[in-house]
Amino acid sequence: MPRIDKYYGTNTMIGGDELNKLIKLGYSGYHAQFRVVCKAKSMAEANRLAESYGLYKKTFTKDYTSETGNKLEIELAYKYGFIIALDGTEGHKFISAKELL
C-alpha cells in the first residue's frame, strides 16, 4: 500500500535557541508563536519530526491541529517536509525547519 501523506498545520510557541535562530533569519515580531506545517503520514510522525527540530514533542495535538488546505503551505511542506512561518502566525513567508539545525 502506498504512503499517503497528510499536511498537518498548527500554531506553536517557539523559544530559546530556536527563537534566536528565527530572529537571525529575519523574524522581527514581538511574540514567540509561529505557524508550523508538516508533511507526515500521521500526527505521531509529525510530532517526531517536530521534536527532531528542537520543538515540543507534542507540537501537533488533535485539539489544535488540522489538515491544512492552504495551497502555499501544502506546496512548501511537500518540498521541504516541515516548514515554519517566518512572519509568526501570518503564514506568508516560510522557511524550512532544517534551517533551525
Show the domain range for 47. 6-100
Say what the pTM is: 0.92
The C-alpha angle with vertex 78 and arms to 72 and 83, in degrees rounded to 5, equals 70
Give me the residue label for grid cell 517566518: 86
Q: How far is CA 73 from the centre of its chain?
A: 10
Q: Is residue 93 part of a domain?
A: yes
The helix (H) or strand (E) run that includes residue 52 is: helix 43-52
Task: Summarize pLDDT for 24-80 with one digit per residue, the tens.
Answer: 999 988 889 999 999 999 999 999 999 999 999 999 999 999 999 999 999 999 999
Q: Is residue 61 part of a domain?
A: yes
Looking at the structure of the chain, the number of domains it has is 1
Q: Is residue 38 part of a domain?
A: yes
Contact 36, 84 (CB under 8 A): yes
Q: Is residue 1 part of a domain?
A: no
